[in-house]
Structures are given as C-alpha cells and as structure tokens.
Structure 1
Amino acid sequence: MKYEITKIFRFEAGHRVWKQDLSRGKGAKLSGEKIPENKCINLHGHSYVLEVTVGSDSLNEQEMVVDFYHIKSALKSLIDDVFDHSFIIDRNDPIFPEFQKLFGCYKLTVVDFCPTAEALAKYFYDYLTQKLKEANLEEDIKVVSVTLWETATGKATYRGE
C-alpha cells in the first residue's frame, strides 16, 4: 500500500489464556530448566491498546485513504459495547459452562478461540475486513495490520495475507 493510516483505540477487559503451558510449545526451550507458573491461566485483565492500520494505493477525493472518523465508527460499537469492561472467554474453555452460570449476569464476550493477544488481533482484523466488504470498499481500502497491546511491553500483530 502506498498510503496507510492508523487509528488507536483503548479498552479494558479481562480474560484467561486457558491453554497456556509454559513447559511445552515452541518457546519452552528458551526458558531453560526453570519454568515459572502459568500465570495467564488465571483470571486477569488488561488495559488494551488496539492499533488498526488501513491502507490504499490511492487517495480519495478528499486526499485521504479514509477519514479516521469512519474507521472509528466501524469499530466503535464492537469495542464499546462488546469488549470494553467485559470478560473475554472461549466457549471451549473447560470452565466456561460453570463460569457462565456464575457470572452470566455480567458482561461476557464469548468467542470461539483462546483469547490470546494474537487471536484477538486476528479477530479485530477479520471484523474490520468484513465491515469494509459490506461497505463495498474492499477494493479501495485494505486492512494492513492490527496490533493489540496487552501491556506496555507486550503486543501482538496480525497482518493477514
């Protein structure tokens, strides 16, 4: 893309990375012999920062890729009404049935994947890509990347194809 713009959003949410097992997987050998406890398997929360970058090879009649307002509008209800101040939980999480019984009266965001930063970045990418398609803009404007910051020092980026 010749031109790119980035819009930043902030929201608060809790989650649980129920699949976390620091003793296994690709990175286990990086930690050596001493493996810490799997902290993220516990219920916890983050002050998320979401960076959405869209691009185009040409500018519109207003000399923009797209107005920032429109990107904000496309994501506002998803972020404000669905994710902000919710608990994000995978319906496949073994604790989900009991959790839903106990906490279903609170704001839950139920997803079909373990809510890691990487998986959530892809979720937001796919959502905005669909919004652009529904507005018949997918030929002119592409989602370049979505980056989700969980902490001030940890982020995940999804770029798609």
Structure 2
Amino acid sequence: MIQQIYPQVQHDFTYELNKDLQIAAAHYIPTESAGKCKQLHGHTYFVNVTVAGDQLDDAGFLVNFQVLKKLLHDKFDHTTLNDHTDVFNNKDSNYFPTTEVVARVMWETIEHHLQKLPSKPTCLQVFVRETPTSYCIYRPKKGRTAQ
C-alpha cells in the first residue's frame, strides 16, 4: 500500500479511523462517451475509508478493520465490477462503475453496515485512486444515510 496522506474531513467526533485497501478489479463504462474506457480493462484501486464516531464497541473498536475489509475487498477484489448488478448497472449512468460511482457505492455499503451498530459510527468519506494520477472522493451531504 502506498503511504499517502488523504484529504481530511473536518468533524467533531472523538474517534476517527482510516482503513486502506487495495482492490484489483476490471470494469467498463457502457457508453460511447467513455472513449477507451468503454472497453473492458482493469485497475489496482487504492481505497481509503474514513470512519468516525464517539463511542467504542464492547471490544474497544470504533469498527473492526477486518469488517471493513470484508465489506469491500472480499466483495470486489478480482472481479468485474459490472457483474455486481446489485450495485451497478449498464442502463443508468448513476450506476455505471465509474470511479465516482464506485466511491459512492463503497460508502453506501459501509454506511449501511455501520447504521446497524449500537455505537453508531459513520463513514465520513471514501477515497478511491484508480490510477497513479486520478482519484475520486465521495463525501455524503449532511444528513445522508445509506439506502
């Protein structure tokens, strides 16, 4: 994992944790306007997840790092993102597996899990680096919850 400083989110929570992940996956963007990206191709995505909260769970965790890995890495690593029709589709551009949508879907996946926890942590941002020179950050608007 590349050692990197990620853009920070200003917040008033007591605890903040960050989890880095590396995910190898293929995708294509199903529209002519995507140019070469319309063809199936792959990336090694570098992902950083920022979770914050005020209370720790019974194990002393805000959230277990292994849970975050299971939610994202175990689902998406070594797959074709377009095949995950539960979160992506080829009909609506809001669900094409672009870097922006991948970051949002990862946030939704994590936040959906976090909402079930008694300590109520929240995912503040998901950073997805698609190439050495291109990345996207998804930060929900205040009050946004996962579907």
Q: How far is 1:60 from its partner?
A: 3.6
Conserved in 1, the CA contact under 8 Å of 2:55 and 2:119? no
Q: Report whether the alignment pairs 1:72 with 2:51.
A: no
Partner of 2:114: 132
Q: What SS is found at the alignment partner of 2:115? A: helix
Conserved in 2, the CA contact under 8 Å of 1:5 and 1:65? no
Q: Which runs of 4+ in 1 moved over 4 A?
A: none
Q: Report whether the alignment pairs 1:84 with 2:77.
A: yes
Partner of 1:147: 127
Once the two structures are superposed, residues 53-74 of structure 1 have per-residue CA deviations (whole angstroms, 9 ceiling, x without a partner) of 0112x36489x7725xx13314
Conserved in 2, the CA contact under 8 Å of 1:14 and 1:44? yes
Amino acid at match of 2:65: I
CA RMSD after TM alignment = 2.3
Q: How far is 1:6 from its partner?
A: 1.1
Conserved in 1, the CA contact under 8 Å of 2:57 and 2:119? no
Q: What SS is found at the alignment partner of 1:128? A: helix
Partner of 2:138: 158
Which stretches in structure 1 are left out of the alignment for 5+ residues? 23-37, 90-107
Larger Rg: 1
State the distance in 1 between where 2:112 and 2:71 align: 15
Q: Identity of paired residues, percent?
A: 26
Partner of 1:40: 37
Q: How far is 1:76 from its partner?
A: 1.3
Q: Report whether the alignment pairs 1:21 with 2:14.
A: no
Q: What SS is found at the alignment partner of 1:143? A: strand
Q: How far is 1:153 from its partner?
A: 1.1
Conserved in 1, the CA contact under 8 Å of 2:129 and 2:135? yes
Which stretches in structure 2 are left out of the alignment for 5+ residues? 1-10, 90-94, 142-147
Q: What SS is found at the alignment partner of 1:45? A: strand
Conserved in 1, the CA contact under 8 Å of 2:99 and 2:128? yes
Q: May I ask how many residue pairs the two structures share in their alignment?
A: 121
Task: Give the structure-2-normalised TM-score.
Answer: 0.71
